[in-house]
Structure 1
């Protein structure tokens, strides 16, 4: 009798391809996702992306921009004050010559009053300083101290002119000493201001007052104005 058992054919090989393709795609997607997540996690966890360091850098850049602005403003103020004080120093140089052998040439009362007005105005220009970086603050404080000393010199000279002859020489000597201190203090502050400008990339700024020999004042260097080191 013929064998009536049914034979089972093996499934066609092509039937496994869709399943195998899906598995491979799923694995590829998983690996890609893991790599992407790992990369993002590494980038977020890098030390240079630490929130504290990011904030510190932001504040540092903010302070640097502030100091650059203040350097420009302070240099402009120093030049204006310097110009206003040149006539005062010229009158004091004539009235209080550095060389004792040079005869004194007292200025008129109007010139003295004008000098007092100029020094008072200069003091007010530095009366309310903004807060800045140490380098800018040092330059500004030095200029402020210098104009206060020069204002004191003018007041001492006024007092000497009105004083009795017996006390006049001492007051004149005090006025001359205050004048020399003012010029020397300004020169130190001007040197600091010059360095601040160079560091900020603006080049040299030589804002000095004329100084006679023996005053101990610093002078400008040989670099041309605006030249960067």
Structure 2
């Protein structure tokens, strides 16, 4: 005899599914949009540079631009000084004594250039080193001219010692200037200006550095 299936003792709950009306859909959509906007904003804040990082980058860019400008200014100044000092350097090495007019001209030149390089300009370390070496070279050449002038006031038998001092100071000045010129040449290459040569002499006097022969403005 088959068993009959009876009704359950407890009523089965009915699941009633209702559709969302348009206002509920609008609120849901608005919530999703707000969440998306917040998420994008947080992502950009995390991925993008902070205000401090942007400030540091701006400062570095300004310093780089300032340094390039200072390299150009120092190159122009050194080139002008070279043209003036060439007569002094060659005159101190000449075998013939200078005339009073020549000596007065040397004194005026070194006095003028000493004052020019005495002006302190703050810049990048590499540029400051080159500028300081140029200033030191001009000061040494000024001492050489002073020693030469003093020797002319001495008795003939007492002049040679001071003339030797003047010659040594001249050599030191040329050597120191060559170090500055080499540094400046590299600075110009790094700044994109190509090779710039401002050496006082083409001969390695006293171990002075000289140009490598690369044409002016040549870029690697």
Q: Same fold (TM over 0.5)?
A: yes
Could you tell me how far 1:51 is from its partner in structure 2? 2.1
Q: Is the 8 A contact 1:183 1:211 kept in 2?
A: no
Give the counterpart of 1:109 among 81, 88, 100.
Answer: 100
Moved more, 122-131 or 161-170: 161-170
**Partner in structure 2 of residue 133 of structure 1:** 124
Q: Aligned partners of 1:201 and 1:30: how far apart in 2?
A: 55
Correspondence for 1:217: 208
CA contact (8 A) 1:184 1:217 kept: yes
Paired residue for 1:20? 21
Q: How many residues align?
A: 203
For residue 65 of structure 1, report the CA deviation from its aligned partner: 1.0
Q: Distance in 1 between matches of 2:51 and 2:89?
A: 54
CA displacement 1:189-229 (0-9 Å, x = unmatched): 00111111111111111011015454110011232211122
Q: What CA deviation, in whole Å up to 9, does each residue of 1:113-134 have, x standing for no partner?
A: 1011011111111111211110
Give the whole-Å Cα distance in 1 for the aligned partners of 2:111 and 2:89.
Answer: 14
User: What residue number does 1:181 align with?
Assistant: 172
Counterparts of 2:35 and 2:215, CA distance in 1: 61
- Structure 1 residue 73: Cα displacement: 0.8
Equivalent residue runs for 1:1-229 within 5 Å: 19-46=20-47, 48-94=48-94, 104-210=95-201, 212-229=203-220
How far, CA to CA, are the matches of 2:97 and 2:92 in structure 1?
8
Q: Normalization by structure 2: what TM-score?
A: 0.86
TM-score by length of 1: 0.83
